[in-house]
Chain A
């Protein structure tokens, strides 16, 4: 399973990466998509929603189960991935085409405090 070194991770299986000084991209990990199985629907909060770290920013429906999505750090949603109308993209490409939201991060240094790829691998026992 693939866990890019450039990303930071949460224990709830989201990843985040800073793309500019204060804009981050967020999605779920390869492990998460694999555990969920076939994803059929991604329901995300709207652009403009301001949330705290660990707040729910959406849900992901797989055939067998549903899972909430938890925001890695505080911020405001500035874009949602419209391509996820085809929810299977999350299974096929969790780190690229299957990203979920872009976030204006309240405090960019918060991202540094999250798990590295090595930490995350250790947590899920991979």
Chain B
């Protein structure tokens, strides 16, 4: 199992460590609920260095990314990022339109792009990128060299501004800048996975301790806390953000997962386009959100049923929302009867538990909409 450069800091902070995406990662420090609250109410720091980073360089970088990703790369300008997906097409082992991975594509220059991909998919993504590679493109895997910290919460900007001369207020949502922070040259992106204001910082591994220490020193007045993967999951699920392996996988088309907004069918040819058009007209399943009446948690794989117990789908993600104090979840259903405002049932340890079908996000935040980008 791999370790990030922050491993000893996790240990020193009392983290409980688990295997995730091939890395030994902190699932919690103080406790998921306290960490969740820290991010919603003030500021928290996530080590997300397990995630992969890939640089795409060359004169045909844009054309290449237009072909392998679903969002419209032509809409990017220098310093702007977009949420996107890579889909299978003509692959012996996967359906056309099945999702290779979801990712963030950032444009540094017209011939230089930066991808952030999921830890568990790094090898698979690289193979897929190489298989689709065209002349005039260079693919550089930087995953083992770069650290990634997410600083999230309404006080994130105040904490980080104390450490940099870059004017953070000028970095708009889903934009980034390169500059020095805590005396380290890094990429500072206004992105995140929590629904709160915040930044993601990417820098070489050798500066891991220096940056972590500076952030926690600057964050002391705000009671800054380290946040584990447990709270990362409750925070993202309250916002209805997809997690690969749950709402998205190799069998699932983003159109079915409620991510039609990152699939730009008008941009020209791209991998999985025909399958997306088909899924748009005739979806095989649809993603729903639900709020259970009781406090039993619907876990991944549990059956979603009608009142009579007829199985109509399965749970993708479920947790107790710390903000709402209700059991929430997402699931794929095959039934046209499962509509927002209606009810469904989740089979939890043999019992049919009633739930209201809702449209995520479960928690309404005024800060931003990821879709605005």
Please list the residues of chain A having a beta carbon within 8 angstroms of any beta carbon in chain B: 37-38, 40-41, 43, 59, 61, 63-64, 66, 87, 91
Would B349 and A59 count as touching, CB distance under 8 A? yes
Instruction: List residues of B (23-56) whose CB comes within 8 Å of A's CBs.
Output: 27-28, 31-33
Would A37 and B28 count as touching, CB distance under 8 A? yes
Closest beta carbon of chain B to A29's beta carbon, Å: 17
Closest beta carbon of chain B to A125's beta carbon, Å: 16
The interface centre, meaning the residue of A40, A66, A87 with most chain B CB atoms within 10 A of its CB, is: A40
Say whether, besides A61-B320, A64-B230, A38 and B297 are in contact (CB < 8 Å).
no
Would A63 and B295 count as touching, CB distance under 8 A? no
Would A63 and B296 count as touching, CB distance under 8 A? no
Would A61 and B16 count as touching, CB distance under 8 A? no
Assess whether B154 is interfacial by the CB under 8 Å rule: no
Assess whether B319 is interfacial by the CB under 8 Å rule: yes
Would A63 and B320 count as touching, CB distance under 8 A? yes
Say whether, besides A63-B230, A63-B234, A64-B27, A43 and B296 are in contact (CB < 8 Å).
yes
Residue of A nearest to B16 (CB): A37
Residue of A nearest to B32 (CB): A63
Instruction: List residues of B (303-332) whose CB comes within 8 Å of A's CBs.
Output: 319-320, 322, 327
Residues on the A chain within 8 Å of B296, using CB: 41, 43, 61
Give the distance in Å from the alpha carbon of A87 to the alpha carbon of B27 in the complex.
21
Would B297 and A37 count as touching, CB distance under 8 A? no
Residues on the B chain within 8 Å of A40, using CB: 33, 295, 297, 320
Residue of B nearest to A91 (CB): B31
Assess whether B299 is interfacial by the CB under 8 Å rule: yes
Listed by A's residue number, 12 A-B pairs whose Cβ atoms lie within 8 Å are: A37-B28, A37-B31, A37-B32, A38-B33, A41-B294, A41-B295, A41-B296, A59-B349, A63-B32, A63-B33, A63-B320, A64-B27
Please list the residues of chain B having a beta carbon within 8 angstroms of any beta carbon in chain A: 16, 27-28, 31-33, 230, 233-234, 294-297, 299, 319-320, 322, 327, 349
Q: How many A-B residue pairs have CB under 8 A?
A: 42
The interface centre, meaning the residue of A37, A59, A64 with most chain B CB atoms within 10 A of its CB, is: A64
Residue of A nearest to B33 (CB): A38
Residue of B nearest to A62 (CB): B32
Residue of B nearest to A68 (CB): B349
Would B297 and A61 count as touching, CB distance under 8 A? yes
Closest beta carbon of chain B to A71's beta carbon, Å: 16
Residues on the A chain within 8 Å of B327, using CB: 41
Would A61 and B32 count as touching, CB distance under 8 A? no
Residues on the B chain within 8 Å of A43, using CB: 296
Would A66 and B16 count as touching, CB distance under 8 A? no
Closest beta carbon of chain A to B230's beta carbon, Å: 5
Give the distance in Å from the alpha carbon of A37 to the alpha carbon of B295 in the complex.
16
With A37-B32, A61-B295, A87-B295 already in contact, 13 other A-B pairs whose C-beta atoms are closer than 8 Å: A37-B28, A37-B31, A40-B320, A41-B294, A41-B296, A43-B296, A63-B320, A64-B32, A64-B230, A64-B233, A66-B297, A66-B299, A91-B31
Residues on the B chain within 8 Å of A37, using CB: 16, 27-28, 31-32, 230
Residues on the A chain within 8 Å of B32, using CB: 37-38, 63-64
Residues on the B chain within 8 Å of A59, using CB: 349
Give the distance in Å from the alpha carbon of A64 to the alpha carbon of B18 in the complex.
12
Residues on the A chain within 8 Å of B297, using CB: 40-41, 61, 63, 66
Residues on the A chain within 8 Å of B295, using CB: 40-41, 61, 87
Residue of B nearest to A88 (CB): B33
Closest beta carbon of chain A to B116's beta carbon, Å: 25
Give the distance in Å from the alpha carbon of A63 to the alpha carbon of B297 in the complex.
8
Give the distance in Å from the alpha carbon of A75 to the alpha carbon of B299 in the complex.
31
Residue of A nearest to B320 (CB): A40
The interface centre, meaning the residue of A38, A43, A87, A91 with most chain B CB atoms within 10 A of its CB, is: A38
Residues on the A chain within 8 Å of B299, using CB: 66
The interface centre, meaning the residue of B27, B297, B322, B327 with most chain A CB atoms within 10 A of its CB, is: B297
Give the distance in Å from the alpha carbon of A73 to the alpha carbon of B299 in the complex.
30
Residue of A nearest to B36 (CB): A63
Residue of B nearest to A43 (CB): B296
Residues on the A chain within 8 Å of B233, using CB: 64
Residue of B nearest to A41 (CB): B295
Residue of A nearest to B294 (CB): A41
Closest beta carbon of chain A to B352's beta carbon, Å: 15
Give the distance in Å from the alpha carbon of A61 to the alpha carbon of B233 in the complex.
16
Residues on the A chain within 8 Å of B16, using CB: 37
Residue of B nearest to A34 (CB): B16
Give the distance in Å from the alpha carbon of A34 to the alpha carbon of B306 in the complex.
37
